[in-house]
Structure 1
Amino acid sequence: MRRSLILMGLTGLLPIVVLGSAYGAVTLREQRAALDRQAVLASRSTARLVGREIAATVDAVKMISRSPTLDGAINRPGFTELARRLMEDHPNWATLSVADSNGNRLLDLPRPIGGKLGKVIDPSSLARAVRTRQPQVGHAIRGPSRTAFAVRAPVVRRSAVPYVVSAIIPIKAMQPLLFAEEVPADWRLRLFDKRGAVIAQAGSAGGEAVQSVVAAVPEAGWQVEVAVPRGSFTAFTRQTRIVLLGGGIVALALFAALGLALMVELRRFRQRQAAIVQAQRLEALGRLTGGVAHDLNNLLTPILGGLDLLRARIGEDPKALRYIESATSSAERARSLVARLLAYARRQALTPAAIDVAALLADLQELLQRSVGPTISCEIRTAPELLAVRADRNQLELAVLNLVINARDAIKTGSRISGTIQVDVRPPRREDVRNLPRGDYLALSVRDDGCGMDAATLRRAMEPFFTTKAGDRGTGLGLSMVHGFAEQSAGRLVLESAPGQGTTATLILPTTDAPPPVRDETRARPTRTAEILLVDDDPAVREAAAEVLRAHGHRVVEAESMRQGLAALSGAPGTALVITDYMMPGGTGGEFIARARHAGLPQRFLLLTGYTDTAEDLPGDVPQLRKPFRERELLEAVDALLA
């Protein structure tokens, strides 16, 4: 009997031990890999931070070396004033020194090192600076009062090096850079110079280090080391042993439960991995489509502008007008396609505001019913007392219309002509908002009883240009546009479907306590004309916009770069408005506007750009006009600024 019980216990315990051991090994390996990745990222991030600090110091010292105060004999009062100002901006500099090419210190500010002038403490880095005529970062050297290193820049005058300017920086000034990277307290970060001397250290690795990760700082020839101690892994090992011991004690009772839990966890892990791969794939496609859309916008702008100008000049020739209308219609369709690409790439221009979703759906109900036809019922249901959402109203209306039309097409598959579409507004489920930023959300779902999608189709449903519709019934951009709009609005689009069971598309959007805005009345367009400066590096875009403005009485001066634009602006005080592209030779539109305002120029500005996320340095009071634009849109934007 005892032997039977032992055999039964071992029989029940063996699968648990095997599965538990395997699960523990996998978990331990994943945790160790995560620690390894964290160590590599910490070393690279710290190396980049140190490199940026060194590069900034090198640039500052190079700027000093080019000062006119060092031409010929040292202009001590002028150089002292320059040094004082720069050292106020660089409080980590202990001394700013000028030495001759033989290493004799001629001037130390704010006071001589060690109380008197003499030879430089690190002559090798000075000799390299003289020989190479390039800035050099010296070794960590113990001086009279502190351990420091020097950043040196040669003063090159007529192919000679009469002086070398050096910023002396205590090594303790580098210590805060190591603390900027958040790592476990028992890890150790160290910064070494070219000779292997420790410049700075943070943390103290306890025990023998299992792994040391080293990253180079190319700007100085230094290295950053991240040491992970053995103790960082003992917690994972201890947890694994506890799991194995607990599993052995309750083996017979929990065998089925543990096996089920393991299967569920593995399934969730696969789902998470598949979701990550899909997100990365969609992100890559988004970057590609966004770049293509931006270039297409630049191509469409002169096309639409030229057609508008031709329409105004062609007269009453009906055949020519028909050709122009056909070309304009095709260009507008291309413009709409580009807008959808930008929506998928999350680079469209949005104007988020508080929206009462129930009221919006009530306004759309008649349009939605007409869109699906009389044989399909489109029902709208909203929960009471829901908060408003924060989103772009036009894009939200377009997203709802796209989802309803997709539902209609799913119902009308094969010979079927009737069905039901339900549009529900409700609080989201917990799984709908998982991994979204903390806050309140609203769920707008569109459910149909159509053919549904299999797993393979569902995985690709939000890819741009992917469609299961035959012929020319769709571009494959509807769901991808809704997905991009949801992501850009800090929400998400959730698709649920199965063959023969219909599809549910749920749009999750953040809510807001702000009241919906009151729409302004449309005002008449003024007729004032003015002198306008137009800056754009694309000749076709510039010519089309200039011709539109000149055709309506404006005087236009053209420039193709930031430098030409600033020169034209400073030489034409009568200019009332500046229209500038964002990306152009010599700098960005934001830099152009900042420099003009810094110079005290009073003109107003209008920015032309292909999509929104590039204009990060644009002042908030500068309006933007998206490419491609029509003649009417350009004139309305100009009139609003001249009013």
Structure 2
Amino acid sequence: MRRSLILMGLTGLLPIVVLGSAYGAVTLREQRAALDRQAALASRSTARLVGREIAATIDAVKMISRSPSLDNGIDRPRFTMLGLRLMEDHRNWSALSIADSDGNRLLDLPRPIGGALGKVIDPFSLARAVRTRQAQIGHVIKGPRGITAFAVRAPVLRGHSVPYVVSAVVPVQAMQHLLFAEEVPPDWRVRLFDKRGAVIAQSGPTTQDSMQSVVSAVPEAGWRVEVAVPRGAFAALTRQTRIVLIVGGLVALAVFAALTFALAIELRRFRQRQAATLQAQRLEALGRLTGGVAHDLNNLLTPILGGLDLLRARIGDDVKAKRYIDSATSSAERARSLVARLLAYAKRQALTPEAIDVPAMLADLHELLQRSVGPAIRCAIEADDGLPAVRADRNQLELAVLNLVINARDAIHSRGGGHGTIRIEAHLSRRDEARGLARGAYLALVVHDDGCGMDAATLRRAMEPFFTTKAGDRGTGLGLSMVHGFAEQSAGRLLLESVPGQGTHATLILPATDAVPPVPVAVRERPTRTAEILLVDDDPAVREAAAEVLRAHGHLVAEADSLREGMAALAGAPDTALVITDYMMPGGTGGEFITRARHAGLPQPFLLLTGYTDAAEDLPADVPQLRKPFRERELLDAVDALLD
């Protein structure tokens, strides 16, 4: 079972692990791709913003370069007014300058750069603007006042010559705000590079940690925008994915372990139920077998006991013959007791249920029980107050208690030492004890001992007939099986709990009743009336033995061996005072015989003889029964009771 559960667990977990790993890998790849897309988007968006800003500046400078104030030399007042107005619209410009083609600054607005006119700071971009006759973006250079800036230059075109170059000086600080326009995580870094690779502006951390960069070009200026993502972000994604996979795997493992545990419990319960069902079927098969054997043994023992009783009455004072008869009778009685136990196990014994006061019954039995266990073992009785009566056969209940106590005594002796305590308790049954029984109140009669106890294998077989752990001829193996059969037949249950070395608890569960226990009455003397009796039994030996007993005491007996002959004999003898019939016989059952006789208007009372009455559903409830094998006195008492 353990190997099956392990294989089942691996079979269940393997797809989960594979699918979880695949899902984690796909998720990780998608998240990394999402980071790359976000970085590329931020880089392109920032590059577009910078490009638009540069393009706007170039357009503004070109517009100034086409101003009429520069057509015939420099109209300083007019250019100054135009330039200052334009600078008001472009507050990020720090200066507006006009230089000739050789790089000599002719006019600086709003004031001379560095305090005086002179050469341009970046002559290379100016020369390139003159040569290409196109607007140019200068290099980022640190100016005379410590301000890092770049120039946007536009040539003033006059025919084929370039007399002037108009330049707008833009501090790199003016480009800084463009890097914050795109929202990115705070640990990302955004930088703007010029053509030479110098950093124009930067946002984010300045550390040199390992980063993965995405670069976009700014074509308007030949610059580049770089968005750098810390490699730790990708590692964090990997770590998070691993954590999710591990946690998910652990959760799946825990859920699967819980399901496996529940499945194991359910499988164990199923096996227990299956074992209980198989045991019940086995016991039922054994019960049918023992019931059939007991029926045949009863038919054999009936003429034996009857013949021995007749012989005892006829041998006179022959002491030796009486000893032989007594020995044979004792053996027959032991066989009769054995058959009774078989019937009790097979749940086919005839019970006479009545209301029983269990504490009072235990008090009456205490002396007998103490004598049975001996002086070295203390037999204690504890019963709760206010217990209801139970509905059961009193004789069988007393015999069941005696059997349980004797088993407890033998367990104490087997432990060694011979000293111990047997405690008999009576209390209302708990719900778990009565689970599976019909709804109602139950009383538990528990026999505890501190004997050797039983292991699991012995406990499973303890209620099987003829199973015993006692050595030699000390036990028949029918004690617990008889108690079990009696409990089941009484709508109750026998529970056994035992631990090796710690003793055994035998609990007899019986249904409670609100009926009042009967008051015992004095036994009256048997009358001596004789009558005509019809005896119907298909077994010649049983019929002959019973007829001889009745005739020996003055009764007139007519015999029949089937239902048909019985009906004919009864119809032909109207003075018949009593009919004694077997249950199983040719032509029908004793119940059918009685029903036909009553439908025919025949008034005679009936006495039923039977080995067991497991299938006697057709027997009228008012017909008394006499169990086989019976003794002479039992037959005569039953006859006298019906004739009285």
* TM superposition score category, shorter chain reference: 0.5 to 0.7
- Structure 1 residue 366, shift from structure 2 partner: 1.4
- Structure 1 pair 455/19, CA: closer, same or farther in 2 (3 Å)? farther
* 8 Å Cα contact 1:421-1:448 kept in structure 2: yes
* 8 Å Cα contact 1:422-1:447 kept in structure 2: yes
The residue aligned with 1:345 is 346
| Cα deviation digits, residues 294-330 of structure 1 (max 9, x gap) | 1000000000000001111111111111111111111
Is residue 580 from structure 1 mapped to residue 573 from structure 2 by the alignment?
no
SS, match of residue 430 in structure 1: coil
Task: Provide the rounded CA distance (Å) in 1 between the counterparts of 2:9 and 2:637.
Answer: 75
SS, match of residue 525 in structure 1: coil
SS, match of residue 614 in structure 1: coil
- Structure 1 residue 390, shift from structure 2 partner: 0.6
Is residue 617 from structure 1 mapped to residue 618 from structure 2 by the alignment?
yes
The residue aligned with 1:278 is 279
SS, match of residue 446 in structure 1: strand
Task: Provide the rounded CA distance (Å) in 2 between the counterparts of 1:377 and 1:16.
Answer: 57
SS, match of residue 349 in structure 1: coil
The residue aligned with 1:605 is 606
- Structure 1 pair 554/260, CA: closer, same or farther in 2 (3 Å)? same
- Structure 1 residue 620, shift from structure 2 partner: 1.2
- Structure 1 residue 273, shift from structure 2 partner: 1.6
What does 1:411-422 correspond to in 2, within 5 Å? Answer: 411-413=412-414, 415-422=416-423
- Structure 1 residue 546, shift from structure 2 partner: 0.5
The residue aligned with 1:377 is 378
Task: Provide the rounded CA distance (Å) in 2 between the counterparts of 1:375 and 1:333.
Answer: 28
- Ranges in structure 2 where 5+ consecutive residues have no aligned partner: 1-7, 17-247
- Structure 1 pair 436/250, CA: closer, same or farther in 2 (3 Å)? farther
| Cα deviation digits, residues 332-378 of structure 1 (max 9, x gap) | 01000000000000011111111111111111111111111111111
- Structure 1 residue 435, shift from structure 2 partner: 1.3
Task: Provide the rounded CA distance (Å) in 2 between the counterparts of 1:383 and 1:317.
Answer: 55
* 8 Å Cα contact 2:415-2:452 kept in structure 1: no
Q: Which moved more, 1:358-367 or 1:330-339?
A: 358-367
Task: Provide the rounded CA distance (Å) in 2 between the counterparts of 1:338 and 1:464.
Answer: 12
What does 1:163-178 correspond to in 2, within 5 Å? Answer: none
SS, match of residue 432 in structure 1: coil
* 8 Å Cα contact 2:412-2:420 kept in structure 1: yes
Task: Provide the rounded CA distance (Å) in 2 between the counterparts of 1:361 and 1:20.
Answer: 63
- Structure 1 pair 20/520, CA: closer, same or farther in 2 (3 Å)? farther
Task: Provide the rounded CA distance (Å) in 1 between the counterparts of 2:507 and 2:415.
Answer: 25
Task: Provide the rounded CA distance (Å) in 1 between the counterparts of 2:405 and 2:325.
Answer: 33
Is residue 551 from structure 1 mapped to residue 545 from structure 2 by the alignment?
no
- Ranges in structure 1 where 5+ consecutive residues have no aligned partner: 1-13, 23-246
- Structure 1 pair 21/523, CA: closer, same or farther in 2 (3 Å)? farther
| Cα deviation digits, residues 47-83 of structure 1 (max 9, x gap) | xxxxxxxxxxxxxxxxxxxxxxxxxxxxxxxxxxxxx
- Structure 1 pair 16/518, CA: closer, same or farther in 2 (3 Å)? farther
Q: What TM-score, normalized to structure 2?
A: 0.61
SS, match of residue 619 in structure 1: coil
The residue aligned with 1:501 is 502
What does 1:77-476 correspond to in 2, within 5 Å? Answer: 251=252, 254=255, 256-413=257-414, 415-476=416-477
- Structure 1 residue 629, shift from structure 2 partner: 0.6
* 8 Å Cα contact 1:444-1:507 kept in structure 2: yes
* 8 Å Cα contact 1:16-1:251 kept in structure 2: no
- Structure 1 pair 562/411, CA: closer, same or farther in 2 (3 Å)? same
SS, match of residue 475 in structure 1: coil
- Structure 1 pair 19/412, CA: closer, same or farther in 2 (3 Å)? farther
- Structure 1 residue 19, shift from structure 2 partner: 7.5
The residue aligned with 2:175 is none
| Cα deviation digits, residues 493-525 of structure 1 (max 9, x gap) | 011112112111110111001111122221111
RMSD of Structure 2 on Structure 1 (CA): 2.1
* 8 Å Cα contact 1:17-1:248 kept in structure 2: no
* 8 Å Cα contact 2:532-2:576 kept in structure 1: yes
- Structure 1 pair 20/301, CA: closer, same or farther in 2 (3 Å)? farther
Q: Which amino acid aligns with 1:474?
A: G
* 8 Å Cα contact 1:379-1:422 kept in structure 2: yes
Deviating beyond 4 angstroms after TM superposition, the runs of 4 or more aligned structure 1 residues are 14-17, 19-22, 247-250, 252-256
Task: Provide the rounded CA distance (Å) in 2 between the counterparts of 1:410 and 1:534.
Answer: 48
Q: Which amino acid aligns with 2:374?
A: G
- Structure 1 pair 269/320, CA: closer, same or farther in 2 (3 Å)? same
The residue aligned with 1:18 is 12
* 8 Å Cα contact 2:537-2:585 kept in structure 1: yes
Q: Which amino acid aligns with 2:281?
A: Q
Q: Which amino acid aligns with 2:443?
A: L
Is residue 482 from structure 1 mapped to residue 476 from structure 2 by the alignment?
no
Counting aligned pairs with the same residue, the percent is 80
- Structure 1 residue 630, shift from structure 2 partner: 0.6
- Structure 1 pair 546/501, CA: closer, same or farther in 2 (3 Å)? same
Task: Provide the rounded CA distance (Å) in 2 between the counterparts of 1:581 and 1:259.
Answer: 59
Q: Which amino acid aligns with 1:422?
A: R
| Cα deviation digits, residues 259-294 of structure 1 (max 9, x gap) | 433332222222222211111111111111111001
The residue aligned with 2:519 is 518
The residue aligned with 1:635 is 636
- Structure 1 residue 249, shift from structure 2 partner: 11
Aligned length: 406
The residue aligned with 2:596 is 595
Is residue 530 from structure 1 mapped to residue 531 from structure 2 by the alignment?
yes
Larger Cα Rg: Structure 1 or Structure 2?
2
* 8 Å Cα contact 2:465-2:478 kept in structure 1: yes
